[in-house]
Amino acid sequence: MPPNLPADSRIRRILIMKWSALGDIAMSTCIIEDVVQAFPNARIDLNTLPPWDKLFHDDARFHRILAINVRGRQGKWTKLWQWVKEVRQGNYDLIVDLQSNDRSRLMLLWLKMTGAHPRYLIGNRPRWPYHFSGPEAGAHPNPVERMRASLRAAGIPASTPRPVFHVPERCTQHVQQLQQQHGLQPGRYALFYPGCQAAGYLKRWGDVNYAELARMMLDQGEVDKVVLIGSQDEMEDCRHITELAGEGIINLCGQTDVLDIIPLAQAAKWQVGNDTGTAHLAAASSVPMVVVCGPTDAYRVRPQGDNVVAIQADLPCINCYCKQACAHHSCMKAVRPAHVLQGLRQPPVVPVIMIPA
């Protein structure tokens, strides 16, 4: 008979490990919610890195947030020892390692060497130290699917379809103020996430494309407003899109907190973004979304949810993961605004739409 960890009454304290980055954190909340639902009476702690701990400060699902920068260069060994001591004190019956890389496995080894030995360890790699990892571990390109297989191997149902976050009331109120200030009617605006971290600029579809898509939506009466969302890295992109597209563009770049995005997205008609952490966070809403993928694997990086479709050009250099300058950037040039608009208008029947190049 296969194991059934939720039926084990000895599991009272659980630690979930997931460190970074924003997109990976957002995707992992599907798995986190599965664990929370499977163990309603357990005390659950979350181990993450700053600044991502702020995403969960008001989240009642967690008893404690361990935000220890075990990746930092300064004081690295001190931080690692702090992690070992705090996890030892937690006396966990189950640790779910959503990171499952060499560093997390080494840290779990150190934990064991100090005499702490959780009853169960779950990871997504079929190797030591994990007691449970699914038969599909390492086979599926999407990390969430690999972890779902690991949960099921431990008898834990894994069915949460999209990210789950607790949105504080202050964020909901701020979004309502923004909607009133800019005349954003529910179901009558689109949200664009046109940026990504500066180091991954080749993942950006481009200001001209976003401006053209915005103009198409507005001129065809699909929406009344197009809202641009971004952080400091996207200031110039959003400014340029606003200039190119003209009337009907609301530039909120730098004016939203990260969790504001979820209620803002939930009231939108459509969403469009690059392969960026912001799009993964916004997938917590059920609103249709198209994500334009270029150098990254669309099957791996597509945000979770049956409302999300990724679009990618079918090129010989597909999934190159290039981070330096590209002489042609053909992957982004091949995806046209009309492709994205069509993907929004039609309910997704496949998770990824490949555009012939």
State whether 101 and 190 are in the same domain.
no
State whether 265 and 144 are in the same domain.
no
Average pLDDT (260-272) is: 98
Q: Is residue 142 very low, low, confident or very high in pLDDT (cuts 50, 70, 90)?
A: confident
- Domain presence at residue 193: yes
The pLDDT of residue 117: 83
In this model, does residue 19 exceed pLDDT 50? yes
AA letter at 21: A
State whether 176 and 214 are in the same domain.
yes
Q: What is the largest CA-CA distance in the chain?
A: 66
The pLDDT of residue 74: 79
AA letter at 201: Y
State whether 133 and 195 are in the same domain.
no
Q: d(Cα 123, Cα 32) in Å, to the nearest integer?
A: 13
In this model, does residue 235 exceed pLDDT 90? yes
Full residue range of the structural domain in which residue 35 is found: 5-153
- Domain presence at residue 162: no
Determine the 3-state secondary structure of 240 from DSSP. helix
Residue appearing with tokens 């605004």:
337
State whether 251 and 319 are in the same domain.
yes
State whether 130 and 214 are in the same domain.
no
Q: Among residues 178, 240, 183, which one has the least CA distance to residue 210? A: 240
In sequence order, the 6+-apart residues with CB closer than 8 A to the CB of 227 are: 182, 184, 189, 190, 191, 192, 250, 252, 264, 268
- Domain presence at residue 164: no
- Provide the CATH number for the domain around residue 327: 3.40.50.2000
Residues 325/269, Cβ–Cβ less than 8 Å: no
State whether 91 and 116 are in the same domain.
yes
- Domain presence at residue 163: no
State whether 21 and 96 are in the same domain.
yes
195 CB burial (10 A radius; 0-12, 13-18, 19+): buried
Determine the 3-state secondary structure of 212 from DSSP. helix
Structural domain total, the chain:
2
Q: d(Cα 18, Cα 55) in Å, to the nearest integer?
A: 12
Tell me which of 177-181, 244-248, 249-253, 315-319 is least confident: 315-319
Q: Among residues 152, 97, 106, which one has the least CA distance to residue 125? A: 97
Q: d(Cα 58, Cα 169) in Å, to the nearest integer?
A: 10
Per-residue pLDDT tens digits for 33-66: 999 999 999 999 999 999 999 999 989 999 999 9
Q: Which string of DSSP letters, residue by residue, matches 316-340? A: TTTT----S--SS-HHHHSS-HHHH
Domain boundary among 96, 124, 153: 153
Domain boundary among 127, 153, 179: 153
- Domain presence at residue 161: no
Q: d(Cα 250, Cα 11) in Å, to the nearest integer?
A: 49
Domain boundary among 119, 153, 187: 153
Q: Among residues 271, 174, 266, which one has the least CA distance to residue 223? A: 271
Q: d(Cα 289, Cα 261) in Å, to the nearest integer?
A: 13
Tokens of 156: 């834990």
